[in-house]
Amino acid sequence: MKSIGVFDSGVGGLSVLKTLIKNHPNESFIYLGDTARLPYGTKSKDTIISYVKRNLNYLLNNHDIKAVVVACNSASSVISEVTSSVPLIGVIEAGVRAALKTTKNKRLSLWATRTTVELGQYKKHLDKKEKIESLTSTPCPLLVSLVEEGLQDTEIAWSMFDHYLSPVFQNESDTLIMGCTHFPFLKDSLTKYLKEVNKSLNLIDASSEISIELEKILTQDSKKKKQPSSKQEIKVLLTDCASNFKHFTTKNLPKNLNFEFSMINI
């Protein structure tokens, strides 16, 4: 049975994988965590293009893959520069759709990596879809490390929220796009913080929209050829140190999921 490839620099893409596993119980997944090259969000466009190509080539040349979800905003910012023999699903358009469905005052804020902010794909996709009042984009590289270290529920997290929310409140946004797949793992902690400071903000996690996009592609595919349904398998391939990653998975993903871990050298 063909699998769906998913990749990110580290644990962030697991926030997308979690939703995909739940919404597509008859599909198998291969998650590539490029921990050897983490973080992506501080690297240049050309470097990230080379990472995307490497991940894609590895998945397509070594596994039977029918679609690839680029579960990373920094990498999704460059996918128009990459060609693929299977459908390639980025996360940015999905985030834009989810934000536009949610906002009332059309004053949006974006938290993302520095590269995602600089490459400006959110602004570009928003402009294509609808006229909004404003978009404030804040690079939040420290939040990536915070999640990788599993420090979501600590005072350190709250100091960072304090810092990174200042432009959001200044912009009077009603909606914050969590434009890095690491950030949905901060949602609970951020919700607690917002309650404490008596502020309300819609937090946008694009996973459900990504899942809808994948569903459309799979439906088209299954119209072409009928696939036998079989037991869901979830493989995780890591390009470097696995212990932190395994610990994170156990702590943050449903206990009933059975992950098969292996190391790859690419």
Residue 239 interacts with ligand DGL (CB under 6 A)? no
Length of the chain: 266
* Residue 219 CB, nearest approach to ligand DGL (Å): 26
Contact 23, 86 (CB under 8 A): no
For residue 86, the number of C-alpha atoms closer than 13 Å in the C-beta half-sphere is 22
Nearer to ligand DGL, 69 or 218 (CB): 69
Residue 265 CA to residue 3 CA, distance in Å, equals 20
Contact flag: residue 19 with ligand DGL (CB under 6 A): no
Q: What does the per-residue mask of binding to ligand DGL show for 115-154, with x meaning CB under 6 A?
A: -x---------------------------x----------
73 in contact with ligand DGL (CB under 6 A)? yes
Instruction: From 71-79, 101-109, 165-173, 196-204, give the range in contact with ligand DGL by CB under 6 A.
Output: 71-79
- Peptide bond preceding 254: is omega within 30 degrees of 0, i.e. cis? no
Q: How far is the CB of 263 from ligand DGL (least distance, A)?
A: 19
Residues in Cβ contact with 208 at an 8 Å cutoff, skipping those fewer than 6 apart? 19, 23, 98
211 binds ligand DGL (CB under 6 A): no
- Compute the distance between CA of residue 79 and CA of residue 182 in angstroms, rounded to an integer: 19
Q: Which of 74, 152, 173, 207 binds ligand DGL (CB under 6 A)?
A: 74
Residues with a known catalytic role: 72, 180
Cα angle: 166, vertex 171, 172; to 5 degrees: 100
The helix/strand/coil state of 264 is coil
CB-neighbour burial class of residue 155 (10 A; exposed 0-12, middle 13-18, buried 19+): exposed
Residues of span 78-117 touching ligand DGL by CB under 6 A: 113, 116
Question: 8 or 93, CB closer to ligand DGL?
Answer: 8
Q: How far is the CB of 105 from ligand DGL (least distance, A)?
A: 26
Interface ranges with ligand DGL (CB under 6 A): 8-10, 12, 38-41, 72-74, 113, 116, 144, 180-182
